[in-house]
Structures are given as C-alpha cells and as structure tokens.
Amino acid sequence: MIEAVGLTKRYGDKTAVYNLSFQVRPGAVTGFLGPNGSGKSTTMRMILGLDNPTAGRVTIGGYPYRKLPNAPRQVGALLDAKAVHGGRAARNHLLSLAQLSGIPARRVDEVLGVVGLQDVAKRRSKGFSLGMGQRLGIAAALLGDPQVLLFDEPVNGLDPEGILWVRNLMKALAAEGRTVFVSSHLMSEMALTADHLIVIGRGQLLADMSVKDFIAANSAGFARVRTPDTEPQLREKLASALAEAGGHVLPEQDGALRVTGLPLPRISDIAHETDVRLWELSPHQASLEEAYMRMTQAAVDYRSTVDQKAGLQQPLPPGAQPPLPVPGQGQPGWYAPPPPQQGGQPFAMPQGQPGAVPPGPYGAPSAPGAPEAAQANPYAQPGPQTAAQAAPQAPAAQPAPAAPAAAPQAQPPAAAPTAQSPASSPDETKPEDAR
C-alpha cells in the first residue's frame, strides 16, 4: 500500500504539491488524475524517492522507498519511457537491470514475451517507436514481479490493440492483489480501467473516491424526453405539465427536452395523463470526462483563446489572381486541350495567337499544326535541314482569321541563326552547344 501524509514540495517560491494525503490500496486500479502542472509527476517522483518532500512523508508498505530492501523486487515503475540507453538492445537493457537487482536472466525473456517484444529483443532501443518504447518500459516495471506498480501515461503512443492489452494487464495485476497506481489524461480509458480515483489540482487533493461516486458527485443526471417532431404543440404541452409537477425543463438543440427533478416513471405518467406520445424517454448519466471537467475547471492553468486569424488571409490584388485554364468559350487565344488518351503532356498556347506562350526549354508540345522548329529545344543548334523545313511550314501554322496580323511572327525566333558558314558542319557542334 502507498500512503502519503501531508506531502508538500516547493521549488523556490513555487509550491508544486501542498499538504497532500491519500492512500493507494492493493487489489484495485487507482487512477491518478489532474490537469497539466497539477503536481502528479512530482508526487510520483516523491513516492519513488527521486525527490525529497519539503514536508510530510510518503511510504510504501510502511517504509520510505529508499529504505526498502531490494526495492526493484518490490516496486516497479514507468515514469519516462525514453529513459533508456539508445545504444543498447532491448534485451541487454533489461538484462542490465536484472543483474543490478539479482533477478535471474530467464525473467528477462519472460517479460519480453509478456509485452510482445520478443521478436525485436536484439534491436537497439533508439530505433523503437513511441509505442515500442512504452512496452519496453512496462517490461522493466514488471521485471522484479513487484507487488506495487506505478505507471505514468502507460498507453501513450500505443495503438488500439496495445491500449486494450494495457487495460487488461492493469486489471489482471490488481486482481492478483497488487497495488496499481496509474496516472493518465485519457478519461475514457480511466473510466474503463480504474476502480478508484485520486484527483488533484494545483497540488492539492480534490477527490478521493470510487469512479462511480466521483461521477455521481460531480454531475447531475437528467431525463431526455422527445415528442413527435411534426407536432410541436405536444412538446409545449408536455413541458408545461412537467414544470407544474415540479420538474425543471430545458429545450435542447435537436428539439428534445432535458428534464431534471422528476424520476422517469413520473415523467411517463405525466405524458400519459396529458395524452402526449413519446418518441424517447431515456436516462442520462454524465461520463467521467464530464464529471472531471466540472471538478477541475477552476484548477486549469493553461487555457486556449480563440484564434482570430486577423490579417492572415488578406485577398489577393485584382491583377494577382492566377489565370484559370478555361478552354474555348469564344475567347481569343483559348482552345480546348486534347483528350487525355491522345497525349497526357502539358498543352501550350497556339503560336502566333494573342496570349501565346513560347515553347519551354524542354520542348513542351505546342498546339496542333505548329511547326516542329517551335517545339525544338532553343538551346540546341539546329542544322540546315531543320531551317529549310521550318520556312515552307510557317504559313500552315496560321489560322485563317488571324493570318494577316500573325504573318510577321510565322518565322520562329530560332530560325534566323540556323544558316551555317561553309567552314562549319553539323558534325562540328561544340559540346557546350549540345548541352
């Protein structure tokens, strides 16, 4: 059993834990809850003798941790899954811990199998994922087969199968009569795992009771009543009758009624007496998360504000809007691109048209019927045959309506320097020109 009496811890002028007293009894999973900065980690460190309390005391089985004979055989703990030498293999890490505590080596292989790491026992822990690191930390806590176990966020990084495995493991350990103390922020998991709760806020005790009593003490049950949506007058009639009977009625967003102060049988009798049909009459009990939020709302230190995003999404100026590739629509210079099965390469504007874009340096295909010289790489020196072929094909590239205006542009820019001097030949192209 873990027992804390008047436990207090100060760091300079900051009080992390103040006058904290509680007991963690064997045979049950005890959840340790509280907001960030409430003192949970500091309390667990004082239990394990890693921090000395400023005042008060905490004992395990009646002794401080440091006075327990062969403490690793009696207490197992997981506080930080990353507190592992990354260069060691998983098995070697556990083996070194076992040798320090006089635990036989066969126990190392046993706990590796319990946590499911037997296949990666020879891998270095620095390559482990967060979930694998958590499993290795749990294996270290189980190594000495202790009667008292402390876990800080044991399901952090685990997948759903791993979370279920940890839940069942905690329950099995408690069923064997061990003391299991678990700190977690996952309310849904605590509701399924814990039998008893210790809740602290700003270093002080807020609650020490069973999960069922905690929910009942920090939430108000109510009945949810729903009448036919097509007959709103029935809902108003029933609401008036329930209010006259002493109930407190509040409308909900979906049209149902939330009723407190009256038991469900009485609500059913009132609906029958007023001749109102019911589509729903169900009890509602708050979840552990709702009860926890209500209990600790005044002890939260870090609260978020609304993100206004002011000035981060200014509209673009009118001229900065990117052009949309809209085909056709009677606009000069636009045309419908070929279907995907005919190409798949980016299409370019027709040469000689308003808004036409010259071919790219990597020979992007131009519009259908464009001269081959317009599609060639402008950084490669064309030969005489290319220039000769470009001249007779130039008139064919002009659409009929725009022929007079586009005639001066028919000759591609690269056609002018294509004629070579008699002293040169196509075979004498320089390497830098080829590039």
From first to last of the 435 residues of the chain, give the pLDDT tens digit. 999 999 999 999 999 999 999 999 999 999 999 998 899 999 999 999 999 999 999 999 999 999 998 898 999 999 987 888 888 899 999 999 999 889 999 999 999 999 999 999 899 988 898 889 999 999 999 999 999 999 999 998 889 999 999 999 999 999 999 999 999 988 889 999 999 999 999 999 999 999 989 988 887 778 999 999 888 899 999 999 999 999 999 999 888 999 988 999 999 999 999 999 999 999 887 788 888 888 888 888 878 887 777 766 666 566 555 555 544 555 555 555 555 554 444 444 445 444 444 444 444 444 444 444 444 444 444 444 444 444 444 444 444 444 444 444 444 444 444 444 444 444 444 444 444
Kindly tell me the sign of the dihedral angle through the C-alpha atoms of 374, 376, 379, 381.
negative
The CA radius of gyration of the chain, in Å to the nearest whole number, is 39
10 Å Cβ neighbour count for 116? Answer: 15
Structure-token pair, residue 265: 């049988």
Domains 2-216 and 220-293 share a fold: no
CB atoms within 10 A of CB 343: 11
Residues contacting 369, CB < 8 A, separation 6+: 350, 396, 397
Distances (CA, A) of 405 to 176, 349, 372, 394, 399: 95, 17, 21, 14, 10
Q: Which amino acid is at 329?
A: Q
Task: Read off φ and ψ for residue 425, nearest 5 degrees.
Answer: -140, 165
Which residue is associated with the tokens 């979930």? 131
Q: Which residue from 193, 204, 128, 142 is spatially nearest to 163, judged by alpha carbons?
A: 193
Q: Class assignment of domain 2-216?
A: alpha beta
- Strand pairing of 257-260 and 222-226? antiparallel
Inter-residue contact 68 to 60 (CB < 8 Å): yes
> Which residues partner with 196 through β-bridges?
30, 210
Distance CA 241, CA 237 (A): 6
Query: Token match 């000395």: residue?
Result: 52
Distance CA 219, CA 215 (A): 6
Quote the CA–CA distance of 68 and 75 in Å, as a whole number: 9
For residue 122, the Cα-to-chain-centroid distance in whole angstroms is: 30
Report how far apart, in Å, the C-alpha atoms of 336 and of each of 325, 328, 330 are.
Answer: 10, 6, 11
What predicted TM-score, i.e. pTM, was given to this entire model? 0.65
| H or E element at residue 181 | strand 179-183
Determine whether domain 220-293 maps to CATH 3.30.70.100. yes
